[in-house]
Amino acid sequence: MLNKTLLVLILGLFTGLASASAQTPTSTPARVKGRILAARVQGQVTAVAKATGATTILKDGDSVTDQTRIVTGAGASVILVFSNGATVDIAGDSTLDIEDFEQDPFAETVKVADLKQEPGTSTTRLSLTKGELVGKVVHLNVDKGSEFTVQTPVGAAGIRGTTFMIVYNPGPNGTATFSIETSDGSVVFTTAAGTFDVPAGQQITETFDINSGQPTTQILLTDLPPIEAAQIQVISQTIVQAYLNILFPPLAPPPAPPAPGGPPPAGSDSSASGTPSSPTASPPSTTPGAGGP
């Protein structure tokens, strides 16, 4: 009888533990705003805050946030380095909107040059309304929810982790020329005419009607000309040199909300409004010469 009683108690204990474990949610830290650094600025490059219209002339080492428009002058360029390991080189006479950049927090300092794959997951949304950019993106965790998109007025390019070039130039009579080229990896281009896979060593070049977003002729996938492939490789090496020594400090998760009736979390604004203040993010650090030409 005693043995049976002990057995019932033991089974009850394990059942209770299993039930408690099943009821404990496994939470993933909420994404936070990622960090963006202007690593190499040549000529006049302007950052425009989309909310206020305030303008800043960028220089090497400046931090940039999302909801910012980057405008490059004639002959100018800037390389933007993202804390998820992505980089874009924006050429002269270009306009690029950084619509959104969020990623999972990370606990250790990230050296961009060492990244082969992004830390955690992220969402990056850019919009190229004029000009040219070359992107170099480490492997993204797309299977876990990562997204990197470059929108243009005639379609969107979904990046999976690759080196690519996008050119969009509005022309006369309501037309625009567009091209997307990949050096390695692949890009998925979605437009009103359909969805196209652009694998390594391939390109799409087309003229579009701006008003409808429709191509004026059939979209064809062709081999990337050697001269353009070489151009992408040269720019890619310039990007690598620009971020070679860039370090991003740990990216902390957002502060936990206070318990009902309890004191506000450390660092929050205890004013009458009761609204927690946003923590000040530490700027990305570089070693001397990291942002130089």
Is the distance from CB of 247 to CB of 287 less than 8 angstroms? yes
Backbone φ, ψ for residue 237 (5° rounding): -65, -35
Residues 6+ positions from 289 with CB-CB distance below 8 Å: 245
- Alpha-carbon span 38 to 243, nearest angstrom: 10
Q: Domain 32-248: state its class.
A: mainly beta
Note the pLDDT of residue 259: 66
Note the pLDDT of residue 20: 44
Taking the chain (293 residues) in runs of 10, the rounded mean pLDDT of each run is: 42 43 51 96 97 96 96 98 97 98 95 94 97 96 95 92 94 88 92 89 90 81 92 95 95 77 54 37 43 39
- Alpha-carbon span 117 to 138, nearest angstrom: 5
- Alpha-carbon span 236 to 233, nearest angstrom: 5
Note the pLDDT of residue 265: 56
Note the pLDDT of residue 262: 59
- Alpha-carbon span 110 to 96, nearest angstrom: 25
Radius of gyration of the chain (CA): 24
- Alpha-carbon span 88 to 40, nearest angstrom: 11
Note the pLDDT of residue 43: 97
User: Could you state, in order of their start, the residue ranges of all structural domains in the chain?
Assistant: 32-248
Sequence length of the chain is: 293
pTM (2 decimals)? 0.78
Note the pLDDT of residue 285: 47
